[in-house]
Structure 1
Amino acid sequence: MRAVRYSEFGGPEVLHVAEVPVPEPGPGQIRVRVTASVLHPVDLMVRSGRFPAPLPAGLPYTPGWDVAGTVDAAGPSAGQFTAGDEVVGFSPWLRTTTGTHAEYVVLDAAWLALAPTGVPATEAATLPTNGLAAAQALDLLALPAGSSVLVTGAAGQVGGFLLALARSAGLHATGLAGAGDREFVESLGATFLARSETPTGTYDAVVDLAVAGPSLLNLVRDGGGWVAASPPLRPEPVRGIRTFALEVLPDGSRLSELVKLVTSGDIPLRVAGVYPFADAAAAHDRLASGGVRGGVVIVP
């Protein structure tokens, strides 16, 4: 099968399309024929050699987390899906180094969910990692309906999902984003706040996706909540504020709930561009250029 690979760290030019063996599913695993996958900032960080932690396996790597595709084969004890089912899911790449920018990928069945009906795979592929990150951030906070939450980086991929989920949960969200993102933020029922402005007021919680920093802790009420974008950015608790760090985990059951919200129209899916394997370097350049509003999608 073909896969996007790199055998050395560097710029997008190290990417190439290689022939690699088709993976075989083991117990509890599903082989998915990939229709679409998505590029993430962490893919660029690893490719450039800038990822700060050890990885479980060495080069060469196939990048890619999300997948939308069709069940091709199942290992023993993976019976909840049948051949031909359209599914979505993601590989926790930093733990497995199993990349989805390939014609086939093997994932644990528990990481997959049936894909939203009638949604193109290029759109459905944008849901798993970022949608679950948003859902798990709100799960950590466990805010009751009517609570207020400030979301920085609100127009990004995780931020957009978070605003949509906040609306579904009956939360009052304020989205901090660029001036050109007002329409998008408000379309999700959130109050828009330009990032050029100094946030004021008091919130039950903050989800700091844009790494605005712990200076915003003074906006959180005593006993409120804070979610940082990654573990190293988690601030020390003060005034009884519960602080968490986002570490997205694959969860097929939770993903199935998000799929229902996509189908009902409560969660919008956004695609910034679609690139074939041969143009993977251009996809990396596009994401690195910044200001991307939607998933950068890779297709075989």
Structure 2
Amino acid sequence: MSVSAGPVRAVGVTTYGGPDALQVVDVPAQELGPTDVRVRVTAATINPTDTYTRNGSRSKTGTPRGAADVPGMDIAGTLVEIGDDAETSLAVGDRVIGIVVPRDEHGAYREDIVLPAQSIAASPRDADDVAASTLPMNGLTARRALDLLDLQPGQTLAVTGAAGSTGGYVVQLAKHAGLTVVADASEADEELVRSLGADRIVRRGDGVADRILELYPDGVDGLFDGAVQDAAVLPAVKTGGGVATVRWYQGDGSRDLTVHAVSVADMAEEQGKLDELRQLAEDGVVTLRVADSYSPDDAGRAHERLEAGGTRGRLVIDFTR
């Protein structure tokens, strides 16, 4: 097994806490297994789920193991090494994107990472690494949600949190699949959500289910709840319909609905799905949205901005800075 020489620069926490707990740390290089690849990471996207690693919500011990806990679920960079038995059409030197299932020191916020070969795909052509890094986690979450809902062309999908990165991908992928989309938006985000392809828009916030029902009195066929409204949005879905949720909400059992708790980890080695997203990005079907990029030293400031809310597009750690 090959090991990259020397320690690896990363952004992580040695003590759980708020954004100021993040620091630049050295972590050990990872061994390259026979079916793995090694990527030199130049950009790592910051997602809300990363805060759970940072604040210790995912820890069973209350103390990071090893050198640090490293957050992050998606990367872009350069393929630098391929395991002897790895199944990939990619070559050393190719620009790639990848999805990471974080655990301990194995998170996306590190300059050198080893991943299963099926967790990476070619980077979208003409997208720089900062933009490309925003595709894997949010794009695969959207893909997983739509696969679980399994709606057919002409059916109606409601999307809450449509201005967010995952919600925006859901809107664009749903329109590409021939669905009719009703999406929520604040007044400030209405133009953005319309530009993503939503057919009809309702005001976001409390009472959004009632506003959807005003447009579709029998309810919609399916709903993606990116705004994490949980039980409050279930009435918007017709009896027998489906709901895709994030953060593990599984419904209240009060009606005949199929509630799918979406886990992107189920897509962590779906290279074909990730490569499809790459092609859709190149074709302009899905839009890579970057709000801002930060140096590793400023990752805490990026987390502060994320938690303040209202960011449209993703914040990214740029390891070239």
Which bin holds the TM-score, normalised by the shorter protein?
A: over 0.9
Q: Is the 8 A contact 2:70 2:102 kept in 1?
A: no
Structure 2 distance, partners of 1:215, 1:37, is: 34
Structure 1 distance, partners of 2:16, 2:61, is: 14
**CA deviation vs aligned residue, 1:166-201 (integer Å, no higher than 9, x gap):** 110000111112221111111122121111454223
Equivalent in the alignment of 2:50: 43
Structure 2 distance, partners of 1:83, 1:27, is: 15
The answer for unaligned runs of 5 or more in structure 1 is none
Residue 220 (1) aligns with residue 237 (2): yes
Query: Which residue among 280, 296, 312 is the counterpart of 1:277?
Result: 296
Query: Which residue among 105, 118, 124 is the counterpart of 1:110?
Result: 118
1:46 positional shift? 2.4
Structure 2 distance, partners of 1:228, 1:15, is: 29
Q: Is the 8 A contact 1:101 1:299 kept in 2?
A: no
Q: Is the 8 A contact 1:226 1:241 kept in 2?
A: yes
1:239 positional shift? 4.6
SS at match of 1:266: coil
1:118 positional shift? 1.1
Equivalent in the alignment of 2:261: 245
Letter in 2 for 1:246: V
Equivalent in the alignment of 2:158: 150
1:30 positional shift? 0.5
1:275 positional shift? 0.5
Equivalent in the alignment of 1:257: 276
What pairs with 1:1-300 in structure 2 (closer than 5 Å)?
Answer: 1-51=8-58, 58=65, 60-80=68-88, 81-93=90-102, 98-190=106-198, 191-196=200-205, 198-199=210-211, 200=213, 201=216, 202-231=219-248, 233-249=249-265, 250=268, 251-300=270-319
Q: Which moved more, 1:211-220 or 1:130-139?
A: 211-220
Letter in 2 for 1:91: V
Give the percent of matched residue pairs that are identical in Structure 1 and Structure 2.
38
1:97 positional shift? 5.3
The answer for unaligned runs of 5 or more in structure 2 is 1-7
1:23 positional shift? 2.2
Corresponding residue pairs, total = 298
SS at match of 1:256: helix
CA RMSD of the aligned region, Å?
Answer: 2.0
Structure 1 distance, partners of 2:138, 2:13, is: 24
SS at match of 2:31: coil
Letter in 1 for 2:231: P
Q: Is the 8 A contact 2:53 2:69 kept in 1?
A: no
Structure 1 distance, partners of 2:61, 2:124, is: 35
Classify 1:44/1:25 alpha carbon distance in 2 versus 1 (closer, same or farther; 3 Å).
same
SS at match of 2:157: strand
TM-score by length of 2: 0.87
1:79 positional shift? 4.4
Q: Is the 8 A contact 1:271 1:295 kept in 2?
A: yes
Structure 1 distance, partners of 2:255, 2:27, is: 54
Letter in 2 for 1:234: Q
